[in-house]
Chains A and B, each alone.
Chain A
Amino acid sequence: MKELFSPNANPQRLVFMSMVAAQAFVLLLLWIFYPLQLFPSLGDVFRSLGSLIAEQGLIQELWASMTTALQSIAIATVLALLISYLTALPFFRPIAYAATKMRYLTLTGLTFFMALMVSSGHEVKLSVLIFGATVYLVTGMTSVILTTTQEEMDHARTLGMSEWRAFYEVVVLGKLDEMLEVVRQNFAIIWTMITLVETLYQSEGGIGLLLYKQNRYLHLDGVVAIQLVILATGALQDYVFVLLRRVFFPYSWLGAAK
């Protein structure tokens, strides 16, 4: 018990899991007995969740958003990797630098330009998401590349590797696990953007639009239910990414502090 409050302690798995369960239980109790009643009750949220699934096609809408999110993150990842890896060539460094600064552009302002450039609403939605995710991914990925040390590059060079081969070995292969981590962290941004984008282009529905409608009609229980669904999806998504990292990059965790 004492070690739960000791800095850098490593409690036993059972102790740690019991602590997590207790914290979740306390949270649940707080929710049930919250005195101000501003927050919808647990029962109301569950009832609303049932109704959203049965009557408003929550699962289908979630699937629609999920496929759009996956499509966007896949394309954005390829683009971001390309832009980041090209920073090996000084010519492309300003492009990557500019891409990282575009994080500050607002999506609402962008949709107008995207609408002029592409034909369908779906494409606008997709291109906005891809743009938004790419600029965040490039920021994370270039930071990972910048952690490459002189020692790492020298090591590859002393083995007689050419500059490109050394870059491939040290940066591309050597940091692929960290790139996956960047994608995992930034996938969450897609979910925050998707709810916004779906309200701008309502023709294809999606969980974002459903959330918008619940908000608009002040169905707080519905809003909480959808948020919880998004939260659970995100947690599952995170878990899948961690699993992928463990399977494909088993060395990735070996040097981590315990």
Chain B
Amino acid sequence: MTPYFYKEPVLTLDNVSMSFNGELILRDINAQVLDVVRPNMKQGQVVGFYGRSGIGKSVLCRIMAGLMAPTKGAVQVGVAQEPVKPGAVGFVQQRYPLFNHRTLVDNLLVAAERKYNPAEARQQVEAYLERFCLTPHRKKYPAHLSGGQRQRAAIAQQLLCSDHLILLDEPFSGLDIAMIDEVKKIIVEVTTMDELNTVIIVSHDIVTTTALADRLWLLGYERDAAGNLLPGATINQHHQYNLAEMGLAWHPNVEAEPEFAQFVENIKEEIRASA
């Protein structure tokens, strides 16, 4: 097993609940993403939040990104554990939005200029274009980019102005196998860029999310003593998985391992049970 230890928290969900018009969507969610350190490894980490379609994952994303205040509870980010504000967490939305009126290079520049002076911003943008294989497309408008290029551009844009935390909402949704492999490569690439980088995947793709993550939280419904479903999705204490501890993290091609298949099967059973 790869040796590792945990340091300070980088994101904390503290008793987060969210209601819309009196309807409880999320209930008392507690989760803490800790900075994981692996000796002799300069690599960040990937953590995953799994939830079925329509359970409130996008709402949770918006709360974690500071775009929406929860009805109850709080979200703290960074080493200083400050309340989250928009811009503190890089957030790549499902459809990878970019500014359609700007070319790709301008899209990245407008993000980089939030953090760097103009000369540094240009340098950073060039480096990201190169690293994400986007240099040949620098003068294109977003409408001319393919889905994969657009996703890479959206991730690069967020990385250019955020502080190590990047949140991906359904990054594998609607993609074919080849594209999923490409996105996985990008995610790993992001973690290798800086050992402090933490990628948070919020997805309904249990296999891919589990394969990439070293921590996993399962969002689901609970039942009361009488067996009735309680309103609002939550993460109960049995649905928090430390995949590193289970020996299922940081393996290349972990999906092929029988332990991984067994774990995924168990998770699926849990999901079916809470439906």
Contacts and interface: CB of A to CB of B under 8 A. Distances in A.
Most buried by B among A155, A161, A249: A155
Which of A151, A160, A169, A177: most chain B Cβ within 10 A?
A160
A49 B147 CA distance: 56
B110 interface: yes
A74 interface: no
Contact of A160 (B67, B87, B100, B142): B87
Given A158-B67, A159-B161, A160-B161, A255 B110 contact: no
Interface in A141-178: 151-152, 154-161, 169-170, 173-174, 176-177
A159 B158 contact: yes
B12 interface: no
A251 interface: yes
A251 B93 contact: no
A218 interface: no
Given A159-B114, A169-B99, A177-B101, A251 B141 contact: yes
A155 B67 CA distance: 10
A152 B110 contact: no
Interface residues of A, number: 21
B166 to A, nearest CB: 10
Interface in B121-157: 141-144, 157
Contacts of B98: 155
Contact of B101 (A160, A161, A176): A176
Nearest to B94: A151
A43 interface: no
Nearest to B158: A158
A250 interface: yes
Main secondary structure of the interface of B (DSSP, over half): loop
B65 A158 contact: yes
Nearest to B163: A160
Contacts of B141: 250-251, 254
Contact of A158 (B91, B99, B115): B91
Given A151-B95, A154-B93, A158-B87, A173 B101 contact: yes
A251 B90 CA distance: 26
Given A158-B67, A159-B158, A160-B114, A251 B101 contact: yes
A234 B157 CA distance: 43
Contacts of B97: 151-152, 154-155
Contacts of A177: 101
Contacts of B91: 154, 158
A256 B238 CA distance: 49
A154 B95 CA distance: 12
Interface string A243-258: 0000001110011000
A181 B98 CA distance: 22
A92 B98 CA distance: 29
B86 interface: yes
Interface of B: 62, 65, 67, 86-87, 89-91, 93, 95, 97-101, 110-111, 114-115, 141-144, 157-158, 161-162
Given A154-B91, A251-B101, 17 more contacts: A152-B97, A154-B93, A154-B97, A155-B93, A155-B99, A157-B86, A158-B162, A160-B86, A160-B87, A160-B161, A160-B162, A169-B99, A173-B99, A249-B101, A254-B100, A254-B143, A255-B143
18 contacts: A151-B97, A154-B97, A155-B98, A157-B67, A158-B65, A159-B111, A159-B158, A159-B161, A160-B86, A160-B115, A160-B161, A169-B99, A170-B99, A251-B101, A251-B141, A251-B142, A254-B141, A254-B144
Interface of A: 151-152, 154-161, 169-170, 173-174, 176-177, 249-251, 254-255
